[in-house]
Amino acid sequence: MLRLGRREFAPHERVIMAIVNRTPDSFYDQGATFRDEPALARVEQAVAEGAAIIDIGGVKAGPGEEVSAEEEVRRTVGFVAEVRRRFPDVVISVDTWRHEVGEAVCEAGADVLNDAWGGVDPRLAEVAARYGAGLVCTHAGGAEPRTRPHRVTYDDVMADILDVTVGLAERAVELGVPRESVMIDPGHDFGKNTRHSLEATRRLGEMVATGWPVLVSLSNKDFVGETLDRPVKERVVGTLATTAVSAWLGAQVYRVHEVAETRQVLDMVSSIAGDREPAVARRGLA
C-alpha cells in the first residue's frame, strides 16, 4: 500500500501526479502557471480530470537563469499553503533538491518531496523523515542540478538505476521516512541519452520487481522527441504510448502534463490487466 498525505493507493492503482510549474521559463508552457490564479486554475482542472497528486516546481529542470533557494521558497511556499487550503485531500508534492526548500514547503503543508536530482542534497531525505513526508528517490546519473548530460556512459544503465534508487530508498527508510511513502524513479532524460531512457523503459519491470512503488516522469521529454523527431508540442502521442508500456510493466505513479489523456490510457491498461471494470458494459448484453 502506497501512503501519501491523507491518501492510500492499492498496489495495482495507477496514480496521476499533475505538474504545476511555478516558473517563468518552463520548457513546456513557458510560464503559463507562474502567476497564482492560472496555477490554481490548473490545480482545479487537474484534480477534476483525475489527478490525485499535484507536483509543484519552483525551478525548471534545465539550464537557465539562476534561482536561489530563497526565490524557490518564494515561488512555492505560499502556493503550497493555498492549495492545501483549497484542496485539503489532494496530495501535494514539491519538486526540489534543496533541504531548505523542503523544510519550508513541508511546514506549509506539502506531503511529498520529489527529489529529481538523485539525492544531491542528502539532507532533503532527513527533512522528509522529520515531517513524515513521502520521498521520490530518482536516478540522475550523478549529474549536478540543472545540467544536461554529455556523452554519459553506463556499463548497464538499469543496474546503475537500481543501485542508486534502491540505495536512496533504503537510506530514507533508515532515516525515518515511512517505507510505504517512498517511491523510486528511473529519471528519464536525467543523466541519460535517449537510448538510455528507452532501455530504462523497456526494463522497467526490473524496478517494479524490487517492491518499491515506481514513479515515471515521461511527459513530453526529450527522449520522446528524439525517438519520434518531434518538437515539445508534438510529443503527446509518444508520451502516451510510453505511458501505456510503463503501466503494463507495473509503474504506479505518472508525473504528467496531460491529465485527462493519461487517465484514459491508465484506465484502459488497468481494465485490460483485469484491475478495473469497464465503465460501461452493454455490448452483447442489452
- At 269, is the secondary structure helix, strand, or coil? helix
Residue type, 226: E
Angle subtended at Cα 199 by Cα 157 and Cα 52, rounded to the nearest 5 degrees: 100
Rounded CA-CA distance 139/185 in Å is 6
- Which element (helix H / strand E) includes 256? strand 253-256
Residue type, 75: R
Alpha carbons within 13 A on the beta-carbon side of 261: 16
Instruction: Name the residue among 176, 100, 85 with its Cα closest to residue 131.
Output: 176
Rounded CA-CA distance 282/83 in Å is 40
Rounded CA-CA distance 49/180 in Å is 26
Active site residue 221: yes
Location of C-alpha cell 539550464? 63
Q: Are strands 2-4 and 7-9 parallel, antiparallel or unpaired?
A: antiparallel
Catalytic residue among 255, 263, 282, 283: 255
Catalytic residue among 42, 75, 221, 235: 221
> Which residues, 6+ apart, have CB-to-CB distance to 86 below 8 Å?
40, 43, 44
Buried-exposed string 221-238: b where 16+ CB fall within 10 A, e elsewhere:
bbbbbbbeeeebeebbeb
Residues 255/215, Cβ–Cβ less than 8 Å: yes
Rounded CA-CA distance 242/91 in Å is 24
Active site residue 14: no
Show which residues are catalytic: 221, 255
